[in-house]
């Protein structure tokens, strides 16, 4: 997304570093001690009730900008997420470089007191061109709701803008902190952010669509009570070598603002874990 999310990686590195130093042992991803340490470091903070991770960290393989995953439990696809800030997109070129799905920003709520709802100016062009190029598509909404009523309003806005557009992937709720400026969500409690997320996702599922919510490790730790969101998949943001969350996710945003060969603009990159039948 267009908001920088470095806090998750920094917080994770700090806590993991302290935890591993205290343990006095070397982390070997082959034995998944890395994820054992993550679970140990965050167990008392994140709470219980959300499904634990089912992947193996050493099954994530990177080749250039592409991460893949294969084991007895999952296969994977790679994709991008885009908004007006991505500029004019050559979807055919993206497809040729191996990307298979896309999350497209459908809209956003403004940061200011009025909190107006807005359609992403590039949404219509992006979703039409992505579909024409053969991408699986989902959408996300950048949220700034301050209560459940506004979160439900955001969901209604998304559904209205979608109309009869068919989606392959979820409608994602994307609540974020705003860095470097005053935002209407400043000071919202963990309980309220959780309630907002639940209200949006329920409204989407009640309308017959799949849904998910976007978060990084900082949000999992400080801003959301995952035990109240266990019915909804996670789109997880983490720009470290391996995912650092002890919880399961369906999508992992593993890189931001990446420039790809021969393609104008920059992209956030993602992997989707697909359960084997």
> Which domains does the chain possess?
7-275 (3.20.20.80)
> pLDDT by residue (tens digit) across 95-140?
999 999 999 999 999 988 789 999 999 999 999 999 999 999 999 9
**Dihedral sign from CA coordinates of 119, 184, 245, 152:** negative
> pLDDT by residue (tens digit) across 50-97?
999 999 999 999 999 999 999 999 999 999 999 999 999 999 999 999
pTM: predicted TM-score of the whole model, two decimal places: 0.85
Distance separating the N- and C-terminal Cα atoms of the chain: 32
> pLDDT by residue (tens digit) across 164-176?
999 999 999 999 8
pLDDT band at 20 (very low <50, low <70, confident <90, very high): very low
pLDDT band at 44 (very low <50, low <70, confident <90, very high): very low
Check whether 204 has a pLDDT greater than 90: yes
- The answer to whether 212 and 38 have CB atoms below 8 angstroms apart is no
pLDDT for the residue 43: 54
Position with higher pLDDT, 40 vs 50: 50
Q: What is the share, in percent, of the chain residues with pLDDT greater than 90?
A: 72
> pLDDT by residue (tens digit) across 209-254?
999 999 999 999 889 999 999 999 999 999 999 999 989 999 999 9
**In angstroms, what CA-CA distances link 73 with 59, 141, 211, 236, 277?**
11, 30, 22, 19, 9
């Amino acid at each position: 997304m267009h908001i920088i999310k470095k806090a998750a990686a920094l917080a994770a590195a700090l806590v993991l570093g302290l935890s591993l130093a205290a343990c006095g042992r070397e982390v070997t991803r082959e034995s998944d001690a890395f994820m054992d340490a993550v679970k140990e470091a965050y167990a008392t903070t994140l709470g219980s009730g959300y499904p634990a991770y089912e992947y193996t960290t050493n099954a994530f393989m990177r080749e250039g900008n592409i991460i893949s995953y294969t084991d007895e439990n999952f296969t994977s696809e790679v994709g991008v997420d885009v908004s007006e800030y991505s500029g004019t997109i050559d979807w055919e070129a993206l497809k040729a470089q191996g990307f298979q799905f896309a999350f497209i920003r459908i809209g956003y709520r403004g940061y200011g007191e009025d909190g107006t709802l807005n359609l992403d100016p590039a949404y219509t062009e992006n979703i039409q061109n992505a579909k024409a190029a053969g991408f699986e598509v989902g959408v996300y909404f950048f949220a700034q709701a301050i209560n459940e009523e506004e979160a439900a309003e955001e969901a209604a806005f998304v559904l209205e803008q979608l109309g009869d557009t068919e989606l392959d992937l979820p409608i994602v709720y994307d609540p974020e902190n705003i860095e470097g400026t005053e935002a209407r969500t400043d000071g919202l409690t963990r309980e309220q952010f959780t309630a907002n997320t639940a209200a949006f996702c329920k409204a989407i599922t009640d309308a017959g669509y799949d849904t998910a919510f976007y978060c990084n490790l900082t949000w999992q730790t400080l801003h959301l009570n995952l035990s109240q969101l266990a019915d909804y998949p996670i789109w997880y943001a983490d720009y470290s070598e391996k995912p650092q969350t002890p919880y399961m996710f369906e999508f992992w945003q593993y890189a931001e603002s990446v420039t790809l060969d021969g393609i104008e603009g920059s992209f956030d990159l993602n992997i989707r874990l697909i359960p084997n039948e």
